[in-house]
Amino acid sequence: MAEGGFQVGVRRNEFSSEWYAIFLDSIPAATTEAELRGIERWLPAGRFPRLLDVCCGPGRHARALAARGHRVLGVDANAEAVSRAAAAAPPGARFRTLDMRALDALRESFDGVLSLWHSFGYFDDAGNRDALRQMAARLTPNGRLLIDVYNRDHIAKLPLQEHLERGGRVVHSRRSWDGPRHRVVLEYEGGGSDEVEFQLYTPEEFTELARSVGLRPLLACAWFRESVRPSEDHARMQLLFERQDA
């Protein structure tokens, strides 16, 4: 047992079909539309036609962006999610099973890279930095990276145990911390569970991490609205960067 109650050898961050059904498939269409409007403002298809969607899941954003004029490659380590995305893909959307730590294997560049719905921070410090470096390396000069992650200042205020309803299911969650690393055990009424562990950042910390891999900050907000600043009052934050070449 490691510090903070973390069990050694437990398989984490391999999301079950129950997790996708409960947390992702239940997202309201209005929420997705609001997110897409933000993406289109910051990465308009006319200036940023080629997009890479990292950890695309079943293609919630990638399919819609392709339908709106982008050419999108979605990658995810979950082969089942990628299969779902590809089955409903419109022209302009491609999908590939690929771990985010293997983006250097891609032999193409993109005008924009997306990492949405908190799909970052699963590795140690060096692994997280390298994953971000690989995202930045896929950008064309002056290309943009948009990342959507939890704000640690908000998550730190949440209770260590919660009972909530998502997607028509009751979910029991137990949280624990090891420094800035956050672990959540999810147990679903009726059966099934998931265990997730990831590094959480403040806006300032993530900005410094991005600078270290050659990214220049352009915008920090919450709820995909430029007028809302990241703070402990908002669970997620969106950070927009530009590749800064020497």
Rounded Cα gap, residues 83 and 96, in angstroms: 9
Give residues with Cβ within 8 angstroms of 167, minimum separation 6. 21, 22, 23, 25, 26
∠ CA 83-97-99, nearest 5°, is 140
Give start and end residues of each alpha helix (H) in 2-87.
Answer: 17-19, 29-42, 60-67, 79-87
The answer to whether the predicted template modeling score (pTM) of the entire model surpasses 0.95 is: no
Residue ranges per domain, the chain? 13-151+201-243
Q: What is the pLDDT along the chain (246 residues), one digit of tens a residue?
A: 233 333 333 347 889 999 999 999 999 999 999 999 999 999 999 999 999 999 999 999 999 999 999 999 999 999 999 999 999 899 999 999 999 999 999 999 999 999 999 999 999 999 999 999 999 999 999 999 999 999 999 999 999 999 999 989 999 999 999 999 999 999 999 999 999 999 999 999 999 999 999 999 999 999 999 999 999 999 999 999 999 885
Name the DSSP letter for residue 172.
E
Token pair for 29? 């269409």
Range 13-151+201-243: architecture per CATH: 3-Layer(aba) Sandwich (3.40)
